[in-house]
Structure 1
Amino acid sequence: METSSPFVVLVDDSDAVTGIMEKMEAHRKGLLHRAFSVFIFNAKGDMLLQQRATNKYHSAGLWTNACCSHPAPDEPVEDAAGRRLQEEMGFTTPLVKAFSFIYKTEFDNGLTEHEFDHVLIGEYGGSVTPAPSEVKDYCFLGIEEIEKAILSHPQRFTTWFHVAFPRVVEWRKSQHAEQPHVD
């Protein structure tokens, strides 16, 4: 059951709050608002992907990261990300804020996503029990498999996944490069 707020937090290009607006109105007007995207990896380094439910108001049926949404007004991004991960995928795990980016895309239905997107990353190896109202399907795939799928069928993935995925891969590489190696 989705408990997302019907309101989004409007922000400037530095993520400073400029107002609050009803979510669909912000999408109709294409106004920049705060969002988050959660990426989950298992111990093998495979990424959890979800196929969005077919009833979603945009990007229905497309493949994307573990979950994404908008924090409610006065809700910290980290708290909202953990809440939505539980609501959409049926589990919680510690999340680390990795980076943020801004993207804008217009959809055929007249809506525009214009988001200041905070990316959070976590690891999880337990069972996944997605909410059918949010998720049509899910899988864990290796990075190379995802790269091949994006190259051969880019239209099967969400706009924000195309933007965030390569940066997530680079962020993970940099994190692993910073860890000391023990022989």
Structure 2
Amino acid sequence: MEETGTKEVVLVDENDRVLGTMEKLKAHQDGLLHRAFSVVIFNDKNEMLIHKRASDKYHCGGLWTNTCCSHPRLEETVKEGALRRMNEEMGFTTSIHYIGQFIYKTAFENGLTEHELDHLFVGRFNGEPKPNPEEVEDFRYVTIDELKADIEKHPENYTVWFKEIVDKYLTELLAYG
């Protein structure tokens, strides 16, 4: 299945300087560093909105992850891309706040390698998402304690980048709002 959004990714160096673009699957086959974003949304009860990726995604299908994660287009800012994809994937928009960025690299059993400079955003939303079934298999709001306990008990059910976000950036995310 093809993601309904970006077909190309923006290749970058470790300082987020643009090196060019490449077809998304090719960049993942070659394990090249590219620009990405992750959006984490909380409701007013401080529950995090997570989603289960559609099972037929090209990698990490069927795994739970943060509210929205994808790649910006070359002609848009990372924040514009995050807002666009949040609407395309989860069916809503809300204001988001930039937290920071991190680089991670992980190889998958299917031969693809995720190597991303991931820009992290946080926001608040209390409504009911209307997710795109081509992108999202399920979603739920979860307390931080429930989430951390489940990740510890079943780490295989979560994406690599989301586990890193929860492990290293939860304090900054919770400080927002």
TM class by smaller structure: over 0.9
2:149 matched residue in structure 1: 148
* Equivalent residue runs for 1:170-181 within 5 Å: 170-175=171-176
Identical aligned pairs, as a percentage? 49
1:174 Cα deviation after fit: 4.1
RMSD between aligned alpha carbons?
1.4
Distance 1:31 1:46 in 2: 34
Distance 1:90 1:170 in 2: 27
Q: Greater CA deviation, 161-170 or 103-112?
A: 161-170
1:2 Cα deviation after fit: 5.4
Given the two structures, how large is their TM-score scaled by the length of structure 1? 0.92
1:68 Cα deviation after fit: 0.5
1:23 matched residue in structure 2: 24
1:83 partner SS: helix
Distance 2:89 2:8 in 1: 19
Whether contact under 8 Å (2:122, 2:176) holds in the other structure is no
1:67 Cα deviation after fit: 0.9
Aligned: 1:113 with 2:120 = no
Aligned residues: 176
1:179 matched residue in structure 2: none
Distance 1:153 1:170 in 2: 22
1:181 matched residue in structure 2: none
Question: What are the ranges of 5 or more consecutive residues in structure 2 without an aligned counterpart?
Answer: none
Computing the radius of gyration over CA atoms, which structure comes out larger, 1 or 2? 1
Distance 2:116 2:81 in 1: 15
Distance 1:92 1:31 in 2: 30
Aligned: 1:129 with 2:130 = yes
